[in-house]
Every structure is written in C-alpha cells, then in structure tokens.
Amino acid sequence: MARREPVYQVVLVLAKSIIGAQGLRVDYRGLENIPASGGVLLAVNHTSYVDFLEAGLAAKRAGRWPRYMLKAELKKIRIMAFLIKHCGAIGVDREHGAESYHEAVAALEAGEAVIVYPEATISRSFELKEFKSGAARMSIEANVPIVPVIVWGTQRIWSKGTQRRIGRHRFPVVVEVGAPLRPDGDDPVALTARLRSAMSEALDRAQRGFPAPAGEDWVPARLGGAAPPPDEALRLEEEEFARRRAEREAKRRGDDG
C-alpha cells in the first residue's frame, strides 16, 4: 500500500474537492459495517458515472484504501490509465475476465478492500438489475465477507438517460452500508441472491425520506419518476450493446481491409 498511498492522497483530495465544489450533502450511514482490516468486498450499486467517488470516500472514512474493479477500456484515457496503475485498480476485460478475477482474489487474500459492481453496468431504471455472480465467487474463493453498499442520489448529477447537472446544486446523497455477508458455505447462486436481497433492503432504507419529485428523469418509475421501468431499461441497454458490437465489428472489418 505504501507505494500507492501518495497518489491515493491526491485522488482523495480531488474527490473531496469535486464533492465540495458541487456542494453535495452526503449522508454516510453504517460505516461501522466496513471491517477495519482484512480482505473485504464492497459491493456497490451502479446508477451513475460518479457514484465511485462516494463509494471510495465511504471506504476511506472507514479506514480503508479500496481497490476498484474498473472497465479495462478506461486505460485508453491517459489520466484514467495513470490512476488505474498507481492506485492499484483492477482492469476488467469483459471478454477475458479470468485475469482480473484472479487479481481481485489475490488482493482479497492479501487483506485488501476491493470495490465491485455486481450489476456490471449502470442501471437506467435506477432499480437493482440482475447481478453477475463474480462477487459471490470471489467472496467464496477468498473466504472474505461482502459488504453491501448503496449510493443513492448521484444519478441526479450524471447518468445514462438523464440531464447532466454539473455544478453547485447542493444535492443530497445517501451512502447506506449494510451488514457484512459471510460466504458460510453458500454456492455462488445462493450468495448472489443473499447479496441482492441485502442490497435491495439497503436501497429501501436509502430511499426512505429521500426527495422523489414526480416526473423527474432521475427518479425511478416505481416512485413516480420519469426513469424507464426495468423492462424498458433492459431493452435500451440491449440496443446499446448491439450498437457497440456492430461498431466494433465494422471497425474490425475496416482494419482487416
């Protein structure tokens, strides 16, 4: 950790500066549920492009320097490549994920905290999507707990399908941390189900009393907002993935030609 700490300190200052500049009022709850030492997975819901800031600051407030599991393609962005390298982030290649999986397990076995997004991609509905089993498999293999973490409110700032609201708005944000889940002999399917249930309960707690203006694009349809319901959000996501695949294939054919 000593090698990464100077860069982490810079990133920490930047994260605090960004949140301060926006005037965000972040309410951190349940930080005592993050173990002070030992390997731990922090499973975070994914509703925006900026929820990683609040998740990382929550871990730091609990005394941990987390390692993020991030999309490998972010390495193509120079500043992100620098941060991934020097902050020990784990690049995830979705087509060849074994290497990143084993790197994360090794980090957990070495006593580190790792942030993972079980939904893999942003939820356009702002409801919990179906979970991938990777978090559960890592927890079982490394024999470490999973801590459910909900970040709620950042989708109002910058997300898919919403108006971007960058600036000083003093928006409220809740970070709700649930109790750790031990593997306890579960198979990946059972542990994934337990994790999703725990995160659903934490999401309900985070939303309780949180503003939900009717018709707003960042408010789930279930709460009277204009965000697409889960089935429509899934259709939009599948269309996006199909378009990206077609673009990659067209580029590959162009390169071959």
pLDDT, one tens digit per residue, over 170-222 is: 999 999 999 999 999 899 999 999 999 999 999 999 999 999 999 999 999 99
Q: What is the CA radius of gyration of the chain?
A: 18
Q: Residue 48: is its pLDDT beyond 50? A: yes
Q: Residue 91: is its pLDDT beyond 50? A: yes
CATH code for position 148:
3.40.1130.10
Q: Tokens 């902050």: give the residue.
A: 87
Q: What is the pTM of this model?
A: 0.91
Answer yes or no: are the C-beta atoms of 123 and 132 closer than 8 Å.
no
pLDDT at 252: 83
Range of the domain at 166: 27-227
Question: What is the rounded CA–CA span in Å between residue 39 and residue 233?
Answer: 34
For residue 5, being part of any structural domain is answered with no
For residue 71, being part of any structural domain is answered with yes
For residue 20, being part of any structural domain is answered with no
pLDDT at 89: 81
For residue 152, being part of any structural domain is answered with yes
What is the percentage of the chain residues whose pLDDT exceeds 90? 68
Count of domains for the chain: 1
For residue 4, being part of any structural domain is answered with no
Answer yes or no: are the C-beta atoms of 6 and 89 closer than 8 Å.
no
For residue 9, being part of any structural domain is answered with no
Question: What is the rounded CA–CA span in Å between residue 55 and residue 41?
Answer: 12
Calculate mean pLDDT across residues 24-42: 97
Q: Tokens 């005394």: give the residue.
A: 63
3-state secondary structure of 242: helix
For residue 103, being part of any structural domain is answered with yes
pLDDT at 2: 47
For residue 171, being part of any structural domain is answered with yes
